[in-house]
Amino acid sequence: MQSVESNTQLWIEEIHKGVLGQRFRVRDTLFSGRSEFQTVDVVDTYGHGRMLFIDGLVMLSERDEHVYHEMIAHVPLFSHPKPRHVLVIGGGDGGTIREVVRHPYVESATLVEIDEMVVDVSRKYLKSTSCSLDDPRVTVRIEDGLAFVKHCKQKFDVVIVDSTDPIGPAAPLFGLDFYRDVKSVLAENGIVVSQGESPYYEPDWQIALAKLLAQVFPDVFFYNYHNMTYPGGLWSFSYASTGSHPLRDFKKERWHALNLETKYYDPEMHRAAFALPRAQKKALSAFINITNDDQ
């Protein structure tokens, strides 16, 4: 991440793989720190609201974070027969928890974030995402998600791995041992959804993730969402389950009963998100379930 100043304009920039730069015009720098694990920056921008950067990478903008958080939360929650206990690993900004607790039958939502600075900074500067961290059903634990699932005795219906890229502290979250432990904390019909990188820029990471999920879970899917502030715009989540199919088990009646005021997600988008670009489908086909025969 570099700050570029010229003619009184301040910009914050993410350089992707040395070939693409995405920069956002900054109104004000609200926080800039370095925790034990990573750098954390919050800026207020022209056009994209407040933005969170970790290690120089865009984590969210207020303008479009609803897409990421609606899609990482509602797809598994509406695919599970009755999600009562939800675990979020990472996601210290609180956006995923905010969407999870909109489901009234969720009895407990546990956030395990390794970096307290992310939670503290989000509580202070990103109230639109952190607003539900004090919900009485929510427990915030500052600890390593890897160790948490290894030693946890509780079972969860849905586990959401809301992590940064597989470098730095998040790297082990893209590992086989981690997902074996995740499976051990999943209850019957359990679902684990994970941040799955970009099909354009990181096809090899997607293949590696799909391959290791397929070694642990009987059913693996990928689904896509658009993030205007992530490089390339099209990004993916992985979906692995011990029994809940994301399309056949979608709970349409529950969606209609809840009447959520979403801005991106709805049942049509839920289904459409599993329609992968043909090249991505081919790249992952050895490891994932294909949702449609019309290829």
Residues within the interface to its own copies (CB under 8 A): 11, 13, 17-25, 45-48, 63-64, 67, 200-201, 224, 226-228, 230-234, 252, 255, 262-269, 271-273, 275-279, 281, 291-292, 294-295
Cβ 234 to its own copies, closest distance in Å?
A: 4
Q: Which two tokens stand for residue 158?
A: 């849905």
The three-class DSSP label of residue 221 is: strand
Residue 168 or 277: the one with the smaller Cβ distance to its own copies is 277
Cβ 264 to its own copies, closest distance in Å?
A: 5
Q: Is 119 in contact with 127 (CB distance < 8 Å)?
A: no
Distances (CA, A) of 15 to 21, 40, 57: 4, 16, 8
Angle at 263 between CA 262 and CA 268, to 5 degrees: 80
Residues 6+ apart with CB under 8 A from 239: 75, 76, 79, 191, 192, 193, 220, 221, 222, 223, 246
Cβ 173 to its own copies, closest distance in Å?
A: 25
Residue 217 or 265: the one with the smaller Cβ distance to its own copies is 265
Exposure string of 99-119, with b = 16+ CB inside 10 Å and e = fewer, is bbbbbeebebbbbbbbbebbb
Cβ 127 to its own copies, closest distance in Å?
A: 21
Separation CA 147–CA 2 (nearest Å): 34
162 noted as active-site residue: yes
Residue 137 or 281: the one with the smaller Cβ distance to its own copies is 281
Residue 38 or 280: the one with the smaller Cβ distance to its own copies is 280
Catalytic residue among 44, 162, 181, 294: 162
- Report the run of H or E that residue 127 belongs to, with start and end: helix 127-130
Q: Annotated active-site positions, please?
A: 162
